[in-house]
Amino acid sequence: MDKNPVKKISLKKLFPNGFNPDNGEDTMRLNVLLQEKAAANPALNGYTIIRLDHDTAYIAPVGYETEDEVAETAQDTKVIGVDPTAQGNTTALRKIVLDLQNKNEGYTVTEFARKGIDYVAYLRQLDEKTITVRYALADALQVEPYELRLKRTPENGWHVRVLKDGFEFRASKHHARLQESIETSIGKEGWWYQAFAEQRIIIIHPGKLPTFPARVEYNSGLWDRNTVKSIYFGMKLPDRGRETGDPLALNLKSSPGILVAGETSGGKSTVINSIIYGAVMAGCVLAICDDEDKSVDFTYAQPWVMRHGYGCDGKDSIVAVLTMIMDECKRRAEIIKQEHKMNYWELDESIRKDMPPIMLICDEIAQWAAPITVPAGLAKDDPTRIAAEYEKGIHAMAFLLLRRITQKARFTGICFLFAAQSPTANNGLDPSIRTNLTSKILLGETVSDDIRKLVLKDARKAPKVPENVKADGVGKGTGVAELGGIEPAVFKGYYMDDPERDMTWADILCERLEQHVPHVCENLDDIHWTRAEIIERIPFTAFNPDDVFMEDMSDEATDDRLSVEGGFGEDGRDVADRDKPLTGAAAAAHALNVEARIAQSMASQPVAHSGLSGLDALDAAGRDAAARGL
């Protein structure tokens, strides 16, 4: 240790309106600023305030002060010799304490120590508060009151040295009891402590409960620091005694599957936008699937979407994108196998350069992958039934593809983020999918226990957004993150805007991406699917009722094979009531039943490693179904 490690901090700049060392608010604020400095400069870790005046704070490493300086001060002190054989005998020492305090009214035995060849007890006159603190700490730390040496700190907290030989502070053993004691018996809610195990010193600080600012802006030092191992999206709730929390980041390399859930207006879209920005800055290309009515949320990201990667033009386009992702997964798996590697990240950079990692964003999954119930009692050619049958088939295909992506894409450099307000099986996210989404982000300051149990691995132990954050009115955009290898944490998502330029958070992210990342497709039309391309990839979509009805209503509509033959066979084998062939839209509805059965068949079949293409499997099942006259 330096001969004189005491450092002086000028308070004039930190407190331009003046600093009052007797003002609790000022001293608490000073301590927060000191903790922030220590977080930015590790050389200051372990420094504490030892003296204050109106202009200067003096700080020194914990334990710097001498024993005399640390010892309790009192109006009067008595030193009384005791039986030396009692040393180390807790039962005997307790009896001595009781006897001495009964004989010396108003005095408290504060410690036992060797003084030369004698063994003595120190008795001091203590105020009532000090006595209360002494006994509360002894109970929390499971030591005797005379094994603690206390003194007030300049900030009106407590400096505590544990005198017991062999005492070792362990957070797992002591933290809960100590923190409860600090907030109930010693100080009040928001007070906190620092433990220095090597020196057997605990410093108790006055403070306030940690909270968030009204909004958490993206740290200027993080804009260019996103990598596949660190995709920044928010700030953790600050530790006690601080006002700034640590950045929170996803590791796409170790945990490629992400679940984002939460209540409406809870900040879900804001967090997803931050993740999109980080993924693109880290070298990913995008594929996006979203409900057509909400797809405007991701318009800004179109320049970094891969060819045919924009599934926001209707449910058919979503299924087209997902089948394309599965085919890309198969292609990459074959390359990984040929190169004798275990996963995408082990491939040589020269190979990965030509197939960058993909970030698949699937939002509002309940709108396009949840199971659909067809209304009962409707005629086969009822437009409502026909539309429902088609929607049921499309949703089933989307669900199956989502599940297979979570099972097969993880080792191929394809990352996937699935988002829904309520991630239930009825909303398209059953346990078989959620299990493979190992990074969980749950938005909302108040989330039901049922949703927490669905999303979080251990909802009972995971923290909740504190009540003081809600009471402060800064709960918007907060939530709980449970990321692989990191303790679950309360956080608040990054958000910024620029009213003067009429720019939202998405606009700001887009502006920065434009400055740093080239567009993926020169022509944005290439990210979309044409109707013909979708039908070619997924023949099932030719029976989209919207298209069929338009053809039926057209004045120029002509008879085709479907309307003439009525279904798939001239003999009408596919007609359930066997009376007459179905025609037009009704035949299309029957085809949907076939496809739904195919989807159910796919769901019950194990997927081989070599059969990654959902489209190939669907076509094969379709041919088999037709051959059997379904």
Any binding-site annotation on 157?
no
- For residue 520, the 8-state DSSP code is S
Q: Taking the mean position of all CA atoms in its chain, how far away is CA 506?
A: 20
Query: Known binder of ligand: residue 267?
Result: yes
Cα separation, 364 vs 368, in Å, equals 7
Q: What percent of the chain has pLDDT over 90?
A: 76
pLDDT digits (tens, 9 = 90+) for 405-446: 999 999 999 999 999 999 999 999 999 999 999 999 999 999
For 215, the 3-state DSSP assignment is coil
**Residue 264 annotated in ligand binding:** yes
pLDDT confidence of residue 471: 95
> Which residues lie below 8 Å from residue 621, measured CB to CB, with a gap of 6+?
598, 601, 602
- CA 136 – CA 238 distance, rounded (Å): 27
Phi, psi (degrees; rounded to nearest 5) at 245:
-95, 165
Lowest mean pLDDT among 54-68, 138-152, 230-244, 416-430: 54-68
Chain-wide mean pLDDT for the chain? Answer: 87
Percent of the chain at pLDDT exceeding 70: 85
* 385-403 mean pLDDT: 95
Q: Is 66 annotated for ligand binding?
A: no
For range 33-61, the mean pLDDT: 93
Report the distance separating Cα 453 and Cα 468, nearest Å: 23
For 465-508, the pLDDT digits (tens) are: 999 999 999 999 999 999 987 899 999 999 999 999 999 999 99
DSSP secondary-structure letter at 618?
H
Counted residue by residue, the chain has a size of 630
Q: Which of 271, 203, 209 is nearest to 235 (CA)?
A: 271
DSSP state of 156: S
**268 annotated as belonging to a binding site for a ligand:** yes
Q: What is the pLDDT of residues 326-358, one digit of tens each?
A: 999 999 999 999 999 999 999 999 999 999 999
Residue 63 is predicted with a pLDDT of 82
Query: Is residue 269 annotated as involved in ligand binding?
Result: yes
pLDDT band per the 50, 70, 90 thresholds, residue 618: very low
What is the tens place of the pLDDT at every residue in 537-554? 999 899 888 775 444 444
Note the pLDDT tens digit of each residue in 5-24: 899 999 999 999 999 999 99
Separation in Å, CA 131 to CA 91, 138, 146, 179, 263 = 21, 11, 11, 18, 49
Q: Give the position of tokens 């999303």.
A: 455
Question: What kind and span of H or E run contains 553?
Answer: helix 545-553
Q: Is the pLDDT of residue 601 over 50?
A: no
Whether residue 380 has pLDDT greater than 60: yes
Is 341 within any annotated ligand binding site?
no
The CATH topology of domain 231-527 is Rossmann fold (3.40.50)
Residue 602, pLDDT > 50, answer no
Q: Residue type for 590, please?
A: H
d(CA 63, CA 43): 16
Q: Which range (22-31, 47-56, 575-584) has the least confidence? A: 575-584
Is residue 626's pLDDT more than 60?
Answer: no
Cα(209)–Cα(444) distance, integer angstroms: 20
pLDDT at residue 75 in the model: 55
Residue 593 banded pLDDT, cuts 50, 70, 90: low
**Which tens digit of pLDDT belongs to each residue from 175-188?**
999 999 999 999 99
The whole-number pLDDT of residue 307 equals 98
Write out pLDDT tens, residues 185-227: 999 999 999 999 999 999 999 999 999 999 999 988 899 999 9
In this predicted structure, the answer to whether residue 100 has a pLDDT above a threshold of 70 is: yes
Q: Which pLDDT does position 550 carry in this prediction?
A: 43
